[in-house]
Amino acid sequence: MNTMNSMVNKTLALVLGVGLLSAGAGAAGYAAFSSHTAKAPSVQPQNVSEVSLGETSGYDPSGELLSYMNTTSVMPSTDAAFKEETVYVIAGNDGSVQKIIVSDWIRNSAGKTGIEDVSELDDITILKEGESFSMGGDNTRVWDTTNDDIYYQGNISKELPVDMKVSYFLDGNPITPSELLGKSGRVTIRYEYTNNSYVMKEIDGKEEKIYVPFTMLTGLLLENSTFKNISVSNGKIVNDGSRTVVVGFAFPGLSEDLGISEDKLTIPDYVEISADCENFSLGMTVTIASTEILSQLDSENIKLNSDIDLNESMQELTDAMDQLVDGSSKLYDGLETLLTKSQELVDGVDQLAEGAVKLKDGAAAVDDGVGRLEKGTSDLYDGMSQLDSHSSELNDGAKKVFESLLATAQEQLEASGLSVSKMTVDNYADVLNGVIKSLDDSAVYQQALDSVTSAVEGKRDYIRDQVTAAVKTEVESEVTSAVKASVSEKVTAAVRVQVSDAVTASVRENVAAQVIQQATGMTKDQYDSAVAAGQIDAATQQQISSAIDQQMASDTVKETISQNTDTQMGSSQVMGQINAAVDQQMASSDVQTVIKQKVDETMASSDIKALIDQNTDAQVEKAISETMAGDEVQAKLKAASAGAQKVIELKASLDGYNAFYLGLLDYTDGVHKVMTGVGDLKNGTKDLKKGTSQLSSGMSQLCDGILTMKDGLPALTDGVTSLRDGSMQLSDGLKEFNEKGIQKLVELVDGDLAGLLSRIRVLTEVAKEYKNYSGIADGMDGTVKFIYKTEEIEG
């Protein structure tokens, strides 16, 4: 091993060795190490957005894989529930966080009911059927379990305790991942870790900042056909002939925690991997962050007294290392089990791929059918619009015919010597009734008219209810449309404010990085670290802040923010969110109450009441005319005198046409209403077509993703096989660690063992205290580990 690896071994010997020296925690140290090693090959999806959270977390329904993946966690012997949390960080190939998925396992070993839990997670998915919970305040929930363990997962937006940045260099020069793809030369990949989590602790009477002691393990699987002459700054390399497994480790913040000067010992806070490459490409990489190494030490028994025999204690430490070597065989057995389960995963994905193809074809068929429906409703609307456009002409023509008939009847009556007032569409019935009364036997007609009128008037309330219901339906439609337009406008404005704020924050982050780079030559992360360390004076900070504000106020930046905001607002995702929010608000009781109040107000207005009265009178008149023109009434009038009979017949003829005319008015009004409804249907089918098109496109992408995952599964089984074979070399590495690390321990401590033990004691306490990320109930114990997965760099 090189000098850096030797120094790393010294560090591990220092942290683990002194704790084991004083507390005898060798078995716990092995548990922490094997926990990370066993979980490194956990399967992650290639596209998180296209799979469920359950797939992303690595759980399987039978619980067998879940049980295996958690066998290394140490659970105290207690009746209280124990919460084990795994945080999956889906990151870009530069280490930037894209999504955080948290998987929680509450072990209910005592079989208690009503377990109280605290969690900040969003979109929680329960991974085991039959479990449910009820919410309380401050993110609390009570699980209604009887005696089983609880498995759930969800998303969270929260600062990580350790940030990871990945940088790439080709022949010593910085390069982006996209530019590096396909290149050849000497490649260096640098993983830098920034510890964001610390607490204030008293050490030997002095208040000091102590970083939570995270151990970072980063693993890569490199193809020997692409990479040669591989080296790692601090870690281990295992070559099986076709692939090389590289594992590097670092301890961000540990140097400060131990108070060891850099000239005495350099504790790595980064991992750097170099290799000669040809046609560069890289699969995903996995980094594990955990505090379990130090949390397993017994801080109460970490002490030093004059009776300690260092030689005897070093022998105890050597014995503990032997336990670690023996434990490597257990790791091999675990990887053998994982290899068996990987084949079951391959079979399941084959079935999933077959179903995805059928689902893709079905979505395409639905989209095609909706396309035909959209065209049909469009053609129907065009036809109804054309028909409605002639309604006015049809009504005018019918009225002119009616007026012509009245003029002819006027001439006939006057030619017969009768004095008749000028007849119109509105008064002809009254005029002719007066004529009939003036003739013999007119009482027959009057009797019939009085009888029909009385019968129809007896149903006036019913007719008025029908008219009122029709008017109210139309009013409800118009009010709902107006309210929906107002709600849509307000929701769109609110969403735009949120989108604009997010875009502004993103642009400001980029502007800040550029200003800091120009002013100081630093990256923003370096600058923030320098400010936190007090290395940047206040004047320089003010100048940089002012420069950032000045650029943010420029027209160019404002235009960029405006354009990006418009682009986001026009995206299908944001439009879908707006439509969903509008539909949700329209369905809410508050909006429905507003619509009802507006409808009630409109129905109570004088104009609507007058309209109802007018339509009621028209319907009553129509019913009287139709009844008088009917066979029953006409039969009674046949016995009238010849003169009266002619007038009666004339009026009956006119009554028949009047009934036709009123019916025509109803028909054209109905055509207009149908056209309006078809217009709404046309718009709805248009929106439906957009949705089915997106569905078909999304299902096609999902199908392609699943098929890609299916094609990649053989590589998974090959990789697990390589890991299994490589684990056999772990024992040799642990022996080397014992020889080159433990033997240097006393020399490294340099006589200041008491002070170092005090710091390690505090470190173990801090490690034990950090037991959750998304929330944990008071009185509940637990553990947490973080798994970072970076995306591939492939063409």
Q: Which residue has the higher pLDDT, 680 or 299?
A: 680
Q: pLDDT category, 61, cuts 50, 70, 90?
A: very low
Spatial separation of the C-alpha atoms in residues 661 and 668, rounded to whole Å = 11
Using a 10 angstrom Cβ sphere, with 0-12 exposed, 13-18 middle and 19 or more buried, the burial of residue 159 is exposed
Highest mean pLDDT of the ranges 17-26, 207-216, 571-580, 650-659: 207-216
Strands of 555-630 (E only): list them: none
Spatial separation of the C-alpha atoms in residues 765 and 225, rounded to whole Å = 46
pLDDT of residue 320: 58
pLDDT of residue 727: 61
48-62, 474-488, 748-762: segment of lowest average pLDDT: 48-62
Q: pLDDT category, 737, cuts 50, 70, 90?
A: low
397-411, 414-428, 765-779: segment of lowest average pLDDT: 414-428
pLDDT digits (tens, 9 = 90+) for 508-548: 989 989 999 998 889 989 988 998 998 889 889 999 999 99
SS3 content of the chain, % helix, strand, coil (to 5): 60, 15, 25
pLDDT digits (tens, 9 = 90+) for 658-676: 888 888 888 888 888 878 8
204: left (phi over 0), alpha (psi -120 to 50) or beta: left
| 3 state SS of 544 | helix
Q: Which residue has the higher pLDDT, 190 or 11?
A: 190
Q: pLDDT category, 26, cuts 50, 70, 90?
A: very low
Query: pLDDT at residue 52 above 90?
Result: no
pLDDT digits (tens, 9 = 90+) for 711-730: 776 776 776 676 666 666 65
The candidate with the shortest Cα–Cα distance to 339, out of 675, 51, 718, 677, is: 718
The answer to whether the beta carbons of residues 270 and 233 sit under 8 Å apart is yes
Q: Which residue has the higher pLDDT, 114 or 117?
A: 117
36-50, 196-210, 354-368, 704-718: segment of lowest average pLDDT: 36-50
Spatial separation of the C-alpha atoms in residues 551 and 263, rounded to whole Å = 43
pLDDT of residue 746: 47
pLDDT digits (tens, 9 = 90+) for 561-600: 999 999 988 899 889 988 998 898 888 888 889 888 888 9
Distance of CA 441 to the CA centre of its chain: 85
pLDDT of residue 443: 66
pLDDT digits (tens, 9 = 90+) for 375-417: 888 887 888 788 788 888 888 888 889 888 888 988 878 787 6
pLDDT of residue 75: 52
The pLDDT of 151-162, averaged and rounded, is: 95
Token readout for 350 is 């084959």
Q: pLDDT category, 155, cuts 50, 70, 90?
A: very high
Query: pLDDT at residue 640 above 70?
Result: no
pLDDT of residue 732: 61
- Could you give the C-alpha distances from 259 to 210, 254, 297, 301, 768, in angstroms and in order? 10, 8, 19, 21, 20
Place of tokens 């992360």: 525
Query: pLDDT at residue 179 above 80?
Result: yes
164-168, 437-441, 498-502: segment of lowest average pLDDT: 437-441
- Could you give the C-alpha distances from 794 to 46, 109, 180, in angstroms and in order? 12, 45, 10
Q: pLDDT category, 200, cuts 50, 70, 90?
A: very high
- The secondary structure element, H or E, covering residue 103 is strand 97-107
- Could you give the C-alpha distances from 355 to 281, 703, 711, in angstroms and in order? 31, 9, 16
Q: What is the DSSP string of 231-255?
A: EESSEEEEE-SSEEEEEEEE-TTHH
Query: pLDDT at residue 687 above 50?
Result: yes
Q: What is the DSSP string of 303-370?
A: ---TT--HHHHHHHHHHHHHHHHHHHHHHHHHHHHHHHHHHHHHHHHHHHHHHHHHHHHHHHHHHHHH
Spatial separation of the C-alpha atoms in residues 87 and 120, rounded to whole Å = 13
Query: pLDDT at residue 206 above 60?
Result: yes
Spatial separation of the C-alpha atoms in residues 115 and 333, rounded to whole Å = 34
pLDDT digits (tens, 9 = 90+) for 313-366: 545 555 655 666 666 566 666 666 766 766 667 777 777 777 778 877 877 887
The pLDDT of 259-281, averaged and rounded, is: 89
Token readout for 388 is 């409605």
pLDDT of residue 734: 54
pLDDT digits (tens, 9 = 90+) for 72-106: 445 555 567 899 999 999 999 999 999 999 999 99
Packing angle of the helix pair 460-520, 442-458 (nearest 10 deg)? 40
Longest dimension (CA), the chain: 147
Query: Any idea what DSSP says for residue 780?
Result: -
337-351, 367-381, 491-505: segment of lowest average pLDDT: 337-351
The candidate with the shortest Cα–Cα distance to 726, out of 399, 344, 381, 246, is: 246
Q: Which residue has the higher pLDDT, 436 or 382?
A: 382
| 3 state SS of 595 | helix
Q: What is the mean pLDDT of the chain?
A: 79
The answer to whether the beta carbons of residues 213 and 760 sit under 8 Å apart is no
Query: pLDDT at residue 27 above 90?
Result: no
Query: pLDDT at residue 744 above 70?
Result: no
pLDDT digits (tens, 9 = 90+) for 209-268: 999 999 999 999 999 999 999 999 999 999 988 999 999 999 999 988 888 777 777 889
Buried b (16+ CB within 10 A) or exposed e, 340-368: ebbeebeeebeeebeebeeebeebbebbe
